Amino acid sequence: MAYGAKDISILKGLQPVRERPGMYIGSTGPSGLHHLVYEVVDNSVDEALAGYATRIDVSLLADGGCRVVDNGRGIPVEAHPEYPDKSAAEVVLTMLHAGGKFGGEGYKISGGLHGVGVSVVNALSRRLELEIERDGGRFEQTFVDGGEPVGPLTRVGDSGATGTTVTFWPDPTIMEELEFRAQTLVERLREMAFLNKGLEIVFRDERSAEPTELVFKYEGGIVDFVAHLNASKEPLFARVIDISDTYDSGEVEIALQWNTGFYEGLHSFANNIATTEGGMHEEGFKKSLTNVVNRYARQKGHLKEKDENLLGEDIREGLTAIVSVKLRNPQFEGQTKTKLGNTEIRSFVEKATNEKLADWLEEHPNEAKAIVMKSSQAARARMAARQARDLTRRKSLLESALMPGKLADCSTRNAAEAELFIVEGDSAGGSAKKARNPQFQAILPIRGKILNVERSRLDKMFRNEEIQALISASGTGISEEFDISKLRYHKIILMSDADVDGSHIRTLLLTFFYRQLPEIVKGGFVYIAQPPLYGAKLGKDERAYLKDDAALAAFEAEHAGRKIEVSRFKGLGEMDWQELGETTMSPATRTLLQVSVEDAAIADEIFSTLMGDDVDARRGFIQANAKDVRFLDI
Q: Is 314 annotated as catalytic?
A: no
Q: Is 549 annotated as catalytic?
A: no
User: Catalytic pick from 39, 424, 454, 604?
Assistant: 424
More confident residue, 80 or 54: 54
Residues 192, 112: Cα–Cα separation, whole Å: 13
DSSP E strands in 206-295: the ranges are 212-216, 241-247, 250-258, 265-270, 273-274
Over 50: is that where the pLDDT of 1 sits? no
**pLDDT tens digits for 444-490?**
998 766 777 666 777 777 777 888 888 888 988 887 788 999 999 99
From edge to edge, which strands make up the β-sheet containing 565-568? 542-546, 534-538, 565-568
**pLDDT tens digits for 125-166?**
999 999 999 999 999 999 999 999 999 999 999 999 999 999
Q: Is 499 annotated as catalytic?
A: yes
CA dihedral 488, 493, 495, 501 (to 10 degrees): 100
Residue 630: predicted pLDDT = 39
**pLDDT tens digits for 171-183?**
999 999 999 999 8
CATH topology for 21-216 is Heat Shock Protein 90 (3.30.565)
DSSP three-state, residue 610: helix
* pLDDT average, residue stretch 188-193: 95
Residue 555: predicted pLDDT = 79
Residues 532, 550: Cα–Cα separation, whole Å: 12
Residue 55: predicted pLDDT = 97
Asked if the domains at 222-384 and 396-531+592-631 fall in one CATH topology, the answer is no
User: Catalytic pick from 78, 501, 542, 549?
Assistant: 501
User: Catalytic pick from 497, 579, 582, 604?
Assistant: 497
User: Catalytic pick from 499, 565, 576, 628?
Assistant: 499
Does 3.40.50.670 match the CATH number of domain 396-531+592-631? yes
Question: Which DSSP state fits 301?
Answer: T
- Domain coordinates of the chain in residue numbers? 21-216, 222-384, 396-531+592-631, 534-568
More confident residue, 445 or 558: 445
Q: Is 424 annotated as catalytic?
A: yes
CATH topology for 222-384 is Ribosomal Protein S5; domain 2 (3.30.230)
Residue 609: predicted pLDDT = 64
**pLDDT tens digits for 514-545?**
888 888 988 889 998 988 888 888 766 677 78
* pLDDT average, residue stretch 247-257: 90
* pLDDT average, residue stretch 301-311: 90
Alpha helices in 533-589 (DSSP H): 549-558, 577-580
Residues in Cβ contact with 300 at an 8 Å cutoff, skipping those fewer than 6 apart? 365, 368, 369, 372
Q: pTM (2 decimals)?
A: 0.74
Q: Which amino acid is residue 288, in one-letter code?
A: S
